[in-house]
Structure 1
Amino acid sequence: MIRNTIESYGWISILLHWLMALSIFGLFGLGLYMVELGYYDPWYRSSMDLHKSIGLVLAFVYVLRLLWKLQQECPEPIADKAWQRLAAQLTHGLLYLVLLAIMVSGYLISTADGRSIEIFALFSVPALPFAFEQQEDIAGYIHWLLAWSLMFIVAVHALAALQHHFLLKDNTLKRMLRPQ
């Protein structure tokens, strides 16, 4: 089953979800590693280039996922309590919003000097024709705050999925692992 139904997510939604999840964890880990490197460390430049490239590929997947989501049915929530449905909607909305803000702040960090961003040495994304004062520092601080905020929201999201699976014993997690 490729497409979503009222009962389940389809393979494309599932694959996009897990591709983004793995990329986000990888980028977070790489980001933690990068900030500890010294300027003369051999991995200093390479790790930044890799982080930017994966980040921009993730931005592309993010747009694809949003477009796919807009044209798909959304499975009915399993939660029977209104507050649980509201909490799920708010958490998912925050995930999308914080991800977008992280991507924008990462772009602003990377293009603060006016140079484009090279994507795996295949093509480049141009910088904006303007920059604001202390753009790299301000965007960097925002990026750092948002990355940690995202990890908190992801933890809440994952704990809720585990609660549904192990305590409530419903299909919330199962339907994000394979179509039902």
Structure 2
Amino acid sequence: MSKAYEMKRPAYDAVARTLHWLTVLLVAMQFVIGWTMPDVHKDTQPVNLIAWRLGAGATLVAVMTIRVIWRMTHWPTPDELRPLLSVVSRITHVLLYTALVLVPLLGWINASSRGWTVRLLGVVPYPELSEPGSAFGHEMGDVHSILTWVLFTLIGLHVVPALFHRFVLKDDVLQRMLPRAKPSRDQV
């Protein structure tokens, strides 16, 4: 490994890294399922891909709840970015976390308004967040759709700079969130 990529600061802990990559997996699943599932209409039933989307969304709600609590109680090592980049990074992270909480929450509200039960892992039912037939719940479905595109934009504003750090600045910003490789015998 070249000197440019050596870790200068501690990596995020294993829990933070696991929650991060689990979130990535769940959001990717939601995108693929959402893109391929049939359109939802008044009489649509939550079966097949729609059921998978509800389950992945319920899991994302649980993961993000744990992730927010973990982040609030386990602060990462401060970054060593220039002040302006540090502010932009923090704002982007706050907006990203906000969208990662709001988008599935709004989907849950919309599902409740359709009379669908949202279940964690297909077993544990979540409470209804709106009455079946609720106009508010249906409107939140529209907001959910719009905020999904905002979320994808924020993900881009997160990924592109991470790749810029890795390949242009050649610092360790991206490596802090990657699984840590065990040192080889030559490195010990």
**TM-score band w.r.t. shorter chain:** 0.7 to 0.9
TM-score, normalisation: structure 2: 0.81
CA shift, 1:177, in A, is 0.5
Match of 2:147 in 1: 146
Task: Tell me if 1:62 matches 2:78.
Answer: no
Structure 1, unaligned runs of 5 or more: 1-5
Q: What is the alpha-carbon distance in structure 1 between the residues aligned to residue 133 and residue 83 of structure 2?
A: 44
**Higher CA-based Rg:** 2
Contact (CA 8 Å) 1:7, 1:76: kept in 2 or not? no
Q: Which amino acid aligns with 2:160?
A: L
Q: Which runs of 5+ in 2 are unaligned?
A: 1-8, 182-188
Conserved 8 A contact 1:165-1:171: yes
Secondary structure of the 2:99 match is helix
Query: CA, structure 1 residues 35+143, in 2 after alignment: closer, same or farther (shift >3 Å)?
Result: farther
**Distance in 2 between residues matched to 1:7 and 1:119, nearest whole Å:** 34
Counterpart Cα distance in 2 of 1:83 and 1:8: 22
Counterparts in 2 of 1:38 and 1:143: CA distance versus 1, 3 Å: closer
Amino acid at match of 1:20: T
Deviation at 1:115, TM superposition (A): 4.5
Q: Distance in 1 between matches of 2:25 and 2:97?
A: 15
CA 1:159–1:56 in 2, change beyond 3 Å: closer, same or farther? same
Seen in structure 2, the aligned counterparts of structure 1 residues 73 and 126 have a Cα distance that, compared at 3 Å, is closer
Distance across 1 between alignment mates of 2:134 and 2:92: 33
Distance in 1 of aligned mates of 2:27 and 2:130: 29
SS of 1:126's partner is: coil
Q: Which residue matches 2:111? A: 110
Shift of 1:30: 0.9
- Structure-2 residue corresponding to 1:84: 85
Identity of aligned residues (%): 24
Cα offset for 1:121? 3.6
The equivalent of 2:23 in structure 1 is 20
Return the TM-score normalized by structure 1: 0.84
Q: Which amino acid aligns with 2:52?
A: L
Equivalent residue pairs, number: 173
- 8 Å CA contact 1:116–1:125 kept in 2: the answer is yes
**RMSD of aligned Cα (Å):** 2.7
Q: Is the 8 A contact 2:166 2:172 kept in 1?
A: yes
* Structure 1 match to 2:166: 165
